Homo-oligomer: A and B are copies of this chain.
């Protein structure tokens, strides 16, 4: 081992301050039943020896880790470095929310196929779990059920559905879809293609689709199944989906992509095909990742307040950890208009 002065313990502090170790602990825990002067002596010693309480020991004793775990999972096919920027931004906000609530954050990337249910909480490293990631909900759901069964404390980010196991926080995807539909219809577009899996396997995408669909129906536009092409959230899949759409020979004057990454890939395919965006085809995405401001043309999209989402996720989980009830909740969606929709 590298040389280092061995760490001070509460016993060292007690010795130096001339009190018992128990008193040191009381001072550090902020107990009111300590004489002011005693407290000062202890605090001085803490300062001098640069003492920090050993969180493992205190956690072992109190049975509270003071730590939350974030499980970020992705489809196994995804490239290593290719994490969805949206989740990365969530990660930033969750980290900060944890700090505000004086908790540490353990981060782990997982594959949906992994046996992640409860590992962290079971080994007592974390008091609760935050689940974040895209993945097939049909595979996902039974895992959530097991988590509930085991009494694991967790919150997930994602679609907020009725009869869902556990507590979820998510964007109001349906309202977001409506916003997009209204925007596009308002701009005179009549044939809106949807790029993204619109089945119950991906309920977030599905809700976005339905929201937009409803607006079209209200406007008297008949549903056209050929205008929907499956895609998961990546530039590549967006590109391929747009190609496939083009190959079908159906006419369309707008594309609603289920995510910004899909939209960016779709724009590339459209331009390659000699179409102009937004003149020939208006394009709208979802997420408002940083890139959507800088791509060409800048992308009209739906903004989700990640800062608020992170705070809400942490707050909600902490409620659960402390034995209180907590509700699933939806965050409002907001349309951000940029050049790609031709407004």
Contact = CB atoms under 8 A, between A and B. Distances in A.
Interface in A4-41: 4-5, 7
A109 B83 contact: no
A82 to B, nearest CB: 7
Contact of A80 (B67, B93, B150, B264): B93
A56 interface: yes
B124 A7 contact: yes
A197 to B, nearest CB: 22
- Among A119, A123, A268: residue with most chain B CB under 10 A: A123
30 contacts: A1-B322, A1-B323, A2-B153, A5-B151, A50-B122, A52-B119, A52-B123, A52-B124, A54-B60, A56-B57, A56-B59, A81-B89, A81-B92, A81-B290, A81-B306, A83-B88, A85-B290, A88-B92, A95-B107, A95-B108, A96-B109, A99-B108, A99-B109, A104-B106, A104-B108, A104-B125, A105-B107, A105-B108, A106-B107, A290-B291
A132 interface: no
* Shortest 6 CB-CB contacts between residues of A and residues of B: A4-B151, A296-B296, A52-B122, A1-B323, A88-B88, A52-B123
A238 to B, nearest CB: 11
Q: Which secondary structure dominates where chain A touches chain B?
A: mixed
Nearest to A153: B2
A53 interface: yes
Given A81-B290, A83-B88, A106-B107, 13 more contacts: A2-B320, A4-B152, A52-B122, A56-B60, A56-B65, A56-B124, A56-B125, A72-B95, A81-B307, A92-B109, A99-B109, A105-B107, A291-B295
A170 B107 CA distance: 23
Interface of A: 1-5, 7, 50, 52-57, 59-60, 65, 67, 72, 80-83, 85, 88-89, 91-93, 95-96, 99, 104-109, 119, 122-125, 150-153, 235, 264, 268, 290-291, 294-296, 306-307, 320, 322-323
Contacts of A92: 80-81, 83, 88, 109
Contacts of A150: 4
Contacts of A93: 80-81
Contacts of A119: 52
A228 to B, nearest CB: 24
Residue among A50, A72, A109, A307 with max Cβ neighbours from chain B (10 Å): A109
Contacts of A54: 60, 123-124
Contacts of A81: 89, 92-93, 290, 306-307
A124 B66 CA distance: 13
A291 B60 CA distance: 45
A219 to B, nearest CB: 32
Nearest to A120: B104
Nearest to A323: B1
B125 A55 contact: yes
A9 to B, nearest CB: 10
Given A291-B290, A291-B294, A307 B80 contact: yes
